[in-house]
Amino acid sequence: MARNNDRSATGAPLLQVRDVAVEFRTIEGPVHAVEGVDLDLAAGETLAIVGESGSGKSTTAMAVIGLLPGNGRVTRGSILFEGENLVGAPESVMRTIRGRSIGLVPQDPMSNLNPVAKIGTQIAETLLAHGLATRRDVDRRVVETLAAAGLPDAEERAKQYPHEFSGGMRQRALIAIGLACNPRLLIADEPTSALDVTVQKTILDQLGRMTSELGTAVMLITHDLGLAAERASRVVVMNRGRIVEQGPAGQILEDPQHPYTQALVKAAPSVAAVRLRPEVFRKTRPGAGRADVALPGHPTDAAPAVVSGPGLSARSGGQTAAPDHIVEVEGLTKVFPIRGQKEDFVAVKDVSFAIPRGETVAIVGESGSGKTTTARMMLKVYQPTSGAIRFDGRDVASLKGRELREFRQRVQPIFQDPYSSLNPMFSIERIISEPLDFYKRGSSKDRAARVRQLLDDVALPQTMLRRYPSELSGGQRQRVAIARALALSPDLIVCDEPVSALDVLVQDQILRLLGDLQREYGLSYLFISHDLAVVRLISDYVCVMKDGRLVEAASSEEIFTNPRDPYTRRLLASIPGNELDIAV
pLDDT value at position 553?
94
With a cut of 80, say whether residue 33 has pLDDT above it.
yes
Chain-centroid distance of CA 70 in Å reads 29
Dihedral sign for Cα 290, 294, 297, 299, please: positive
Question: 21-30, 185-194, 305-314 — which one is most confidently predicted on average?
Answer: 21-30
Between residues 223 and 412, the one the model is more confident about: 412
The string over 330-355, giving b where at least 16 C-beta atoms fall within 10 Å of a residue's C-beta and e elsewhere, is: bebbbbeeeeeeeeeebbbbbbbbbb
- Calculate mean pLDDT across residues 169-195: 84
One-letter identity of residue 167: G
* CB 76 within 8 Å of CB 18: no
pLDDT value at position 29?
84
With a cut of 50, say whether residue 311 has pLDDT above it.
no
Q: Which distant-in-sequence residues (6+ apart) come within 8 Å of 423 by Cβ?
A: 430, 431, 469
Q: Which distant-in-sequence residues (6+ apart) come within 8 Å of 65 by Cβ?
A: 94, 97, 98, 102, 104, 187
Out of 3.90.1150.110, 3.40.30.10, 3.40.50.300, 3.20.20.10, the CATH code matching 13-111+184-267 is: 3.40.50.300
Q: What digits encode the pLDDT tens for the residues 482-540?
A: 999 999 999 999 998 888 767 778 888 888 889 999 999 999 999 998 778 888 888 99
pTM for the model:
0.72
- Calculate mean pLDDT across residues 26-53: 90
With a cut of 90, say whether residue 470 has pLDDT above it.
no
- Calculate mean pLDDT across residues 82-91: 93
- Calculate mean pLDDT across residues 173-201: 83
- Calculate mean pLDDT across residues 76-87: 95
With a cut of 80, say whether residue 158 has pLDDT above it.
yes
Phi, psi of 323, deg, nearest 5: -70, 170
Phi, psi of 570, deg, nearest 5: -70, -40
With helix as H, strand as E and coil as C, how does 496-560 read? Answer: ECCCCCCCHHHHHHHHHHHHHHHHHHCCEEEEEECCHHHHHHHCCEEEEEECCEEEEEEEHHHHH
Distance CA 249, CA 236 (A): 9
